[in-house]
């Protein structure tokens, strides 16, 4: 690109904002197409060959079995939290300070 130092400050600032917006949109497009290498929802994060990044609005359903409507968990990012819902009551069992188990309640 040409020498931007000769442009007025407002024009340089505008160009910088537009370049940042382009990079943000490229990242969003790559995530939407499954081509992103970084993001907040990642499948197989420790395997570069199988790593897959999903858009932030993705909902994930984890089925515990094929027995019925109660045996699943839906997981999504909502604001600054991870939201987990279940087909019925759920049991939460803490293990250590950074690990819990979730299961459908009996």
Read off the pLDDT of residues 20-68 as tens digits, 9 standing for 90 and up.
888 878 877 776 776 766 677 888 888 877 777 777 778 888 888 776 6
Domain count, the chain: 1
Contact 77, 40 (CB under 8 A): yes
Average pLDDT over residues 76-94: 89
Q: How far is CA 81 from the centre of its chain?
A: 11
What tokens appear for 73 in the block? 């968990």
pTM over 0.85: no
Classify residue 5 by its DSSP letter: G
Strand, helix or coil at 20?
helix
Q: How far is CA 94 from the centre of its chain?
A: 24
What tokens appear for 38 in the block? 């970084």
Contact 102, 90 (CB under 8 A): yes
The rounded distance, in Å, linking the Cα atoms of 84 and 12 is: 45
Residue 100 pLDDT class (50, 70, 90 cuts): very high
**Domain limits at 78?**
4-104
């Amino acid at each position: 690109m040409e020498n931007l130092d000769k442009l007025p400050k407002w024009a340089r600032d505008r160009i910088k904002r537009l370049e940042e917006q382009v990079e943000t949109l490229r990242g969003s497009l790559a995530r939407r197409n499954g081509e992103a290498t970084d993001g907040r929802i990642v499948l197989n994060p420790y395997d570069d060959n199988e790593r897959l990044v999903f858009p932030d609005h993705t909902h994930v359903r984890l089925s515990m079995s094929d027995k019925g409507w109660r045996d699943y968990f839906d997981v999504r990012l909502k604001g600054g939290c991870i939201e987990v819902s279940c087909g019925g009551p759920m049991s939460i069992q803490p293990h250590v300070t950074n690990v819990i188990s979730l299961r459908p309640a009996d």
